[in-house]
Amino acid sequence: MGHTATAQAGSGGLTATEHRLANGLRVVLSEDHLTPVAAVCLWYDVGSRHEVKGRTGLAHLFEHLMFQGSQQVHGNGHFELVQGAGGSLNGTTSFERTNYFETMPTHQVELALWLEADRMGSLLAALDEESMDNQRDVVKNERRQRYDNVPYGTAFEKLTALAYPEGHPYHHTPIGSMADLDAATLDDARQFFRTYYAPNNAVLSVVGDIDPERTLAWVEKYFGSIPSHDGKQPPRDGALPGTIGGQLREVVEEDVPARALMAAYRLPHDGTREADAADLALTVLGGGESSRLHNRLVRRDRSAVAAGFGLLRLAGAPSLGWLDVKTSAGVEVPDIEAAVDEELARFAAEGPTAEEMERAQAQLEREWLDRLGTVAGRADELCRYAVLFGDPQLALTAVDRVLEITADEVKAIAAATLRPDNRAVLVYEPTAAPEAGNEEEEAGQ
């Protein structure tokens, strides 16, 4: 069964239809004939928040295992078939979901659907100790390259562990620990797959130059016979008080290019009006070179070489406001921290100007248009709103809700949350004195 959405104000005329197969797979189709390409996106409702102590990193490990072959597609065949057909593909893991996606020439969409269905339905036929050990080593190496052996690489992990208390489902990050990766067994992986990689725990979106009726027929043909699974337990409760209630702090001495001040502020859950207000507040304060913190620290005081403030939106736990300041040579972190607190206090007392509100809303609107402007971005957003909020149609009107936020709401959320007693702080001190004029690149999270 399915229904067609009518174009809504702010959606740019975009529409999406929703369907559900008998086995529970939710399907979202969005027709767009601007270019002869289409995106296939599959979100599974499983991320690191579903993991238990001692088995962290399984969700991310499984993202890699999904590219190791299935019953009909052996070894590296998924990559080879998609790229050989002129397409691109990847997968990612977060706290709240794991996703897989292909962008294909129009006439190759059926191939992408068959490939995704084959591994959803038959991955266990190919999963063995060899592929498990192979991908375990790949993930461990990824951890070394992106986290352990790069400047500031463990900041995200350390701040998350500070911001969410021990035992909280978001206390650990998707990369997992080396010890837990070593401890994961083939039986752990098989049970994980049976529990979470079921059609009734997934949303499939297909966006672009498609014939919806024919596409839905392909989906039914390839996915319809895959059995559902009812063994999934809901994720542990991620609720926390609205503020931390004190300042948590850790000093890290490492071989980094410059001193750094990083902080995570507890902010409202994604999907709320308050989260949109917080997004606007952080955009005014630290979203780009026109922001208050950049103007104060980088341009005026020249005490920092980079200053940013952004929102990590989370649906199952409080979101995090992410502050990241890299100091200029010779500048001490307490001086940076005092300047940051002064700017935040001024903003909480006065709120944004009309010009700042207009600029911040325009910036978020542009980012929304960028996401929906490509078939891959739109497919991902439709899946996101379907999995996390139950309604893919919300993706098409998300910017309307941001544009409705008032300056008073932005001021109120800043006053309530952007305070010293509502943050986890990470201070980086170089083990060697930084050289004058030294600048660095930020490490990817």
Strand 202-208 vs strand 26-31: parallel, antiparallel, or unpaired?
parallel
| Nearest CA among 218, 269, 201 for reference residue 413 | 269
76, 99 Cβ separation under 8 angstroms: no
Q: Round to whole Å and give the CA distance between 89 and 39.
A: 10
Handedness of CA 364, 271, 313, 15 (dihedral sign): negative
How would you list the strands of the sheet with 260-267, edge to edge?
246-254, 422-430, 260-267, 319-327, 304-312
Mean pLDDT of 365-373: 96
Question: Which residues, 6 or more positions from 299, have their beta carbon under 8 angstroms from its beta carbon?
Answer: none
pLDDT band, very low/low/confident/very high, at 432 (cuts 50, 70, 90): confident
Q: Round to whole Å and give the CA distance between 89 and 101.
A: 5
What is the reported pLDDT for 13?
Answer: 78
From the list 63, 116, 274, 409, the catalytic residue is 63
Per-residue pLDDT at 6 exceeds 50: no
pLDDT band, very low/low/confident/very high, at 230 (cuts 50, 70, 90): confident
430 has which bridge partners?
254
Per-residue pLDDT at 441 exceeds 80: no
How long a stretch of residues is the chain?
445
112 vs 445 pLDDT, higher one: 112
Q: What pTM was estimated for this model as a whole?
A: 0.93
105, 87 Cβ separation under 8 angstroms: yes
Mean pLDDT of 374-392: 98
Per-residue pLDDT at 46 exceeds 80: yes
- Is 381 an annotated catalytic residue? no
pLDDT band, very low/low/confident/very high, at 433 (cuts 50, 70, 90): low
Scored b (16 or more CB within 10 A) or e, 156-179 reads: bbbbbbbbbeeebbbbbbbbbbee
The 3 state secondary structure assigned to 35-91 is CCEEEEEEEECCCHHHCCCCCCCHHHHHHHHCCCECCCCECCHHHHHHHHCCCEEEE
How far is C-alpha 111 from the geometric centre of its chain's CA atoms?
27
Question: Which residues, 6 or more positions from 336, have their beta carbon under 8 angstroms from its beta carbon?
Answer: 259, 261, 297, 303, 304, 325, 327
- At 385, list the tokens: 């709103």
60 vs 52 pLDDT, higher one: 60
For the segment 312-327, what is each residue's pLDDT rounded down to a tens digit?
Answer: 999 999 999 999 999 9
Question: Which residues, 6 or more positions from 385, have their beta carbon under 8 angstroms from its beta carbon?
Answer: 391, 392, 393, 394, 395, 398
Q: Torsions phi, psi of 137, nearest 5?
A: -65, -35
What is the reported pLDDT for 233?
Answer: 84
What is the reported pLDDT for 12?
Answer: 60
Question: Which residues, 6 or more positions from 165, have their beta carbon under 8 angstroms from its beta carbon?
Answer: 171, 240
What is the reported pLDDT for 207?
Answer: 98
Q: Round to whole Å and give the CA distance between 292 and 284.
A: 7
For the segment 188-218, what is each residue's pLDDT rounded down to a tens digit?
Answer: 999 999 999 999 999 999 999 999 999 999 9
Mean pLDDT of 379-389: 98
243 vs 3 pLDDT, higher one: 243
Q: Is 422 exposed, middle or buried (0-12, 13-18, 19+ CB in 10 A)?
A: buried
| Mean pLDDT of the chain, nearest integer | 93
Per-residue pLDDT at 1 exceeds 70: no
**Ramachandran bin of 271, using left for φ above 0, alpha for ψ from -120 to 50, beta for the remaining angles:** left
Strand 422-430 vs strand 246-254: parallel, antiparallel, or unpaired?
parallel
Q: Round to whole Å and give the CA distance between 416 and 281.
A: 12
What is the reported pLDDT for 156?
Answer: 96
Number of H helices, E strands in the chain: 15, 12
